[in-house]
């Protein structure tokens, strides 16, 4: 039996001033290239932007 592959939930605020958005976007692209189940949620906002509804839905799966 093969182990299940982990899923990634990635999000970042478009106006993050610390480079988080760009790095997270690149990680999402690389994960998709490797066929790793990934949810990428670019968000309107800064460093602490979060979409509670989509994160909650991901965690409840």
34-60 pLDDT per residue, tens = 999 999 999 999 999 999 999 999 999
- Cα distances from 43 to residues 2, 7, 13, 22, 32, in angstroms, run 34, 19, 5, 12, 19
The rounded Cα 1 to chain-centroid distance in angstroms is: 28
Closest CA to 43 of 13, 20, 19: 13
Q: Is residue 6 scored above 90 in pLDDT?
A: no
**Residues near 15 by Cβ (< 8 Å), separated by ≥ 6?**
21, 44, 45, 46
- The pLDDT confidence band at residue 1, using thresholds 50, 70 and 90, is low
> Where along the chain do its domains lie?
8-59
- Work out the percent of the chain whose per-residue pLDDT is above 70: 95
Q: Is residue 21 scored above 90 in pLDDT?
A: yes
């Amino acid at each position: 039996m093969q182990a299940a592959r982990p899923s990634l939930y990635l999000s970042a605020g478009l106006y993050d001033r610390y480079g988080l958005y760009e790095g997270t976007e690149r990680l999402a692209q690389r994960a998709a290239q490797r066929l790793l189940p990934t949810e990428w949620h670019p968000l309107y906002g800064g460093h602490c932007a979060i979409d509670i509804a989509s994160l909650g839905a991901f965690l409840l799966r």
